[in-house]
Amino acid sequence: MVLVRNLRPPTEGVRHEEANTTAVLSGQQLGCGTLYVAETRLSWFDGSGMGFSLEYPSISLHAISRDVSAYPEEHLYVMVNGKLDLGFLDSSNGDEEEVITEIRFVPRDKASLESMFSAMCECQALHPDPDDEDSDNDFEGEEYNVEEYGHADVPTFYTCDEGLSSLTQEGQATLERLEGMLAQSVAQQYHMAGVRTEETKAEFEDGMEVDAAVAEAGQFEDADVEH
């Protein structure tokens, strides 16, 4: 999840792009470049093709630092969970096990820090923790919008009798109404026996088929119950 590659800067879903931004990786200055806060990853490139990308799940936190006593310039601080190694960096920090990497993005335009920060917040929110043990995220309650989440997780459609017991009172009423409408339209079918049509009635003998094309206009007017 911590990527170090010569990728091209992201072109899609870039929430914020900040040029003239110096990157400081674990205390080492990488020079001036452009920061791309994209929905898929956070990237920085120096214009010559050198740069790095970070996956949001690997970022522990990010912050705006305006405390010049802690660091001489106002910047966007990013703490990465893991070790970011760019090869040419001197990573001989002794025996200490470095499990985090600190990156500072120092923009020339300090006024951009708020936007940079907010853009990162938005992108982070797009990458919730996949390892979250709380898998009890059922979508219960009437608020659940079937259209929005049309996947198989939620058993909203029943096709056999077992579903009947799951019907609410409202659902039961609707079912009865629909069945009533169906029964009514079937009854109309038999009524039409006397109407002259081009096709033979024998085709529709089972009574279940309602050929709308055959019906005269207005035949099913009363079937149009209040909607």
Partner 1 sequence: MEPEAVESATVGVEVVNSIRERTIAENSMVVLLQGLQGEVTTVDLRDESSARGLVLNVDAFMNIRLKDVLFLDRRGQTAQLQDLFITGRNVRYVHIPDHVDIMKTMESQLAKIHRVRNFAGEGGGRKEFGGRKK
Q: Which residues bind partner 1 (CB under 8 A)?
A: 57, 59-67, 70-71, 77, 81, 99-100, 114, 117, 120-121, 124-125, 128-129, 131-132, 134, 136-146, 148-149, 156, 168, 170-171, 173-174, 177, 226-227
Closest distance to partner 1 from the beta carbon of 15 (Å):
14
User: Who's near 205: CB < 8 A, 6+ residues apart?
Assistant: none
Closest distance to partner 1 from the beta carbon of 117 (Å):
5
Separation of alpha carbons 10 and 119, rounded Å: 15
| Nearer CB in complex with partner 1: 121/183 | 121
| Nearer CB in complex with partner 1: 187/225 | 225
| Nearer CB in complex with partner 1: 81/219 | 81
Sequence letter at residue 201: K
Separation of alpha carbons 194 and 190, rounded Å: 9
Separation of alpha carbons 211 and 208, rounded Å: 10
| Nearer CB in complex with partner 1: 139/158 | 139
User: How far is CA 151 from each of CA 2, 69, 148, 157, rounded to the nearest angstrom?
Assistant: 31, 52, 9, 11
Closest distance to partner 1 from the beta carbon of 128 (Å):
4
| Nearer CB in complex with partner 1: 140/203 | 140
Closest distance to partner 1 from the beta carbon of 33 (Å):
23
CA angle, residues 51, 55, 56, in degrees to nearest 5: 125
| Nearer CB in complex with partner 1: 124/197 | 124
Question: 189: closest CA among 215, 158, 157?
Answer: 215
Q: Is residue 87 left, alpha or beta, with left meaning phi > 0 and alpha meaning psi from -120 to 50?
A: left
Closest distance to partner 1 from the beta carbon of 8 (Å):
27
Closest distance to partner 1 from the beta carbon of 173 (Å):
6
Fill in the DSSP letter of residue 32: E
- Token pair belonging to 125: 């929110």
